[in-house]
Structure 1
Amino acid sequence: MRAYVFEPREKRRASLQAELENVGLQPLFVGEEFFETGLAPLSQPGSEHRAILIGESASTHKQIRAVRASGCENPLIVMRDFRNSTDTAAALDRGADDVIVSPIKGSEVFSRINSIVRRFHGHAAESVSVGEVTAYFDGRDPVVSGARIRLSKREHSIFQHLALNSNKVISKNAIYDAVYGMSADQPFDKVIDVYICKLRKKIAAAAQSGAQYIETIHGRGYKLSAPEETDIQPLEPMRPSMAVEARLS
């Protein structure tokens, strides 16, 4: 998960970067100009998960207004040095999603961003169930037919994007941008097809029905949804000779 971070005090950036990276966040530190010229890309599909973290300064409220005036709906969290109920209320009224107080802990930031993102997509709970698949929004691997399946970092990023938008068609470009949008080493877009194929195989192998849960919508993208019952092929019972061979293998 990526985050734009405005921290005006340079001496605090190293410790903040370490905290965020320790929980899997990828911070990109920005300056004042970001709020004037850098917000446009955040309106593109696939960018809505990128958080904006604003360190306390005299420009905080102006920056919040700029973000929301640009049409950006990304998670926006203000990082304050001390508790101040009046200033916190003003920040929330101007469009901030949350306010946290120092010392800033990466695990708290990560959980608060996750909470904002899943509510943005209409998920109040920590997980969503799609047929035999249970997807978690807190970093845990999914469970399929009661068994946890292990996903790589990239597989997990793509799967979570599909899960947040379950039963909706998500374009390849949106998935690509959500996973690689701020990466310095962006691969060819065919890599999304490769990871989708891997995810399909892992889910089908764990599902009791053997069903495919990630559908390709030609010309539009992909959709995570429970297959229709008519599309599920029942597993063929093993013949006696096959059962004996299985015990011997």
Structure 2
Amino acid sequence: MRAYVFEPREKRQKSLATELENAGIEPFFVDEDFFETGLAPLTQPGGEARPILIGESPDTHDQIRAVRRAGCTNPMIVLRDFRNSQDTSAALDRGADDVIVSPIKGSEVMSRINSILRRSHGHAAECVEVGELTAFFDGRDPIVSGARIKLSKREHSIFQHLALNSNKVISKNAIYDAVYGMSADQPFDKVIDVYICKLRKKIAAAASSGAQYIETVHGRGYKLSAPEQLELPAPEVQADSRQPPLQARA
């Protein structure tokens, strides 16, 4: 997972980066100009999944307003040095999703981001069930037909984006941007197709039905959904020997 991080104190950037990276968050540090000129990519499909972490500064509340005024719905968490209920309330009222007080722990940041993301996509629970497949939003690998399947870091990033949007068609652009952090108008190669193919094979191999769970919707993108149930043949109706033939009863 990649995140935009504003931390005005350079001395704290290294330790913060280490903490986030250990939790699986790849930080991209930005400066004050980001809140004026760098928000446009976040409004593109896929960009809304990129978290924004804002370190404490005199401009924190203005930065929160700028993000929301730009139409960005990204998870936004303020990182504070000390507990201050009044300032926390103001940050939340202005559009922040959460406030974390030092010491900042990467695992807590990741859990709070996951919580915000899944609720923004309409998922209140820690996982979603799609047919034989159980997808988790806390970093665990999925379970298919009772068996856990091991995904690589990149496979997991793509799969989680599909799971958050289960039963919806997601464009390749949106997936690419959510995983690689590029805006939708930038070129991309066949890398998403390759990872989708790997995911399909792993899921089908584990599924007791051997069914495909990731559908290609031509010209639009991909969709994670349960395969259609096979129609079972209608049971044969046995003739009742106790009933006389129809013409005999006429």
Q: Shared fold by TM > 0.5?
A: yes
What does the per-residue CA deviation read over 1:45-64, in whole Å, with 9 as the maximum and x for residues that have no partner? 01111111111111000000
State the match for 1:143 in structure 2. 143
What does the per-residue CA deviation read over 1:143-171, in whole Å, with 9 as the maximum and x for residues that have no partner? 00000001111111111010000000001
- Considering only CA atoms, is the larger Rg found in Structure 1 or Structure 2? 2
Residues 18-97 of structure 1 mapped to structure 2, 5 A cutoff: 18-97=18-97
What does the per-residue CA deviation read over 1:202-246, in whole Å, with 9 as the maximum and x for residues that have no partner? 1111000111111110110110000111289xxxxxxxxxxxxxx
Residues 93-112 of structure 1 mapped to structure 2, 5 A cutoff: 93-112=93-112
Instruction: Identify unmatched segments of 5+ residues in structure 2.
Output: 233-250
Letter in 1 for 2:132: E
SS at match of 1:141: coil
Contact 1:77-1:97 at 8 Å conserved across structures: yes
What does the per-residue CA deviation read over 1:95-152, in whole Å, with 9 as the maximum and x for residues that have no partner? 0000000000100001000100000000011100000000000110000000000111
TM-score (norm 2): 0.89
Matched, 1:17 2:17: yes
SS at match of 1:8: coil
Letter in 2 for 1:105: K
- The 4+ residue runs of structure 1 with deviation greater than 2 A are 186-189
Aligned residue-pair number: 230
Distance 1:11 1:196 in 2: 40
How large is the Cα RMSD of the aligned pairs? Answer: 1.6
Contact 1:2-1:27 at 8 Å conserved across structures: yes
Instruction: Identify unmatched segments of 5+ residues in structure 1.
Output: 233-249
State the match for 1:133 in structure 2. 133
Contact 1:176-1:189 at 8 Å conserved across structures: no
Distance 1:205 1:22 in 2: 31
Matched-pair identity in %: 83
TM-score (norm 1): 0.90
State the match for 2:3 in structure 1. 3
Q: Which moved more, 1:88-97 or 1:188-197?
A: 188-197
| Deviation, structure 1 residue 189 | 2.4
| Deviation, structure 1 residue 187 | 9.0
State the match for 1:201 in structure 2. 201
Q: 1:103 to 1:182 in 2, by over 3 A?
A: farther
